[in-house]
Amino acid sequence: MLFGKDKNKTASGNSKPYSLTPCIICRSTGKVNCNSCDGDGKIFWPGVSGKNYPCPECKGTGQVDCPVCKGRGYN
């Protein structure tokens, strides 16, 4: 028994618990392929010595936070 507390309230003080919906855009991973490098993590800049360089958008990882769920994996 909790004294002075409503046992039906959540930790945040809400009286109803909420349900989390998995993000369908990123499949609950929180990440999507980078649009700048198409998920490769590298960008070819022909004017700069013809080499592949890490993508500045995703910092070479090939993935960025999902724009829908903001990287959480759920909505």
Tens of pLDDT along 10-51?
Answer: 555 555 566 789 999 999 999 999 999 999 999 987 776 768
Burial class of residue 26 in the structure, from the number of CB atoms within 10 Å of its CB (0-12 exposed, 13-18 middle, 19+ buried): buried
Domain range holding 37? Answer: 33-65
The runs of H, that is alpha helices, within the chain are none
20 part of a folded domain? no
59 part of a folded domain? yes
Does the pTM of the predicted model rise above 0.85? no
Contact predicate 34/62, CB 8 Å = yes
Number of compact structural domains in the chain: 1
44 part of a folded domain? yes
40 part of a folded domain? yes
7 part of a folded domain? no
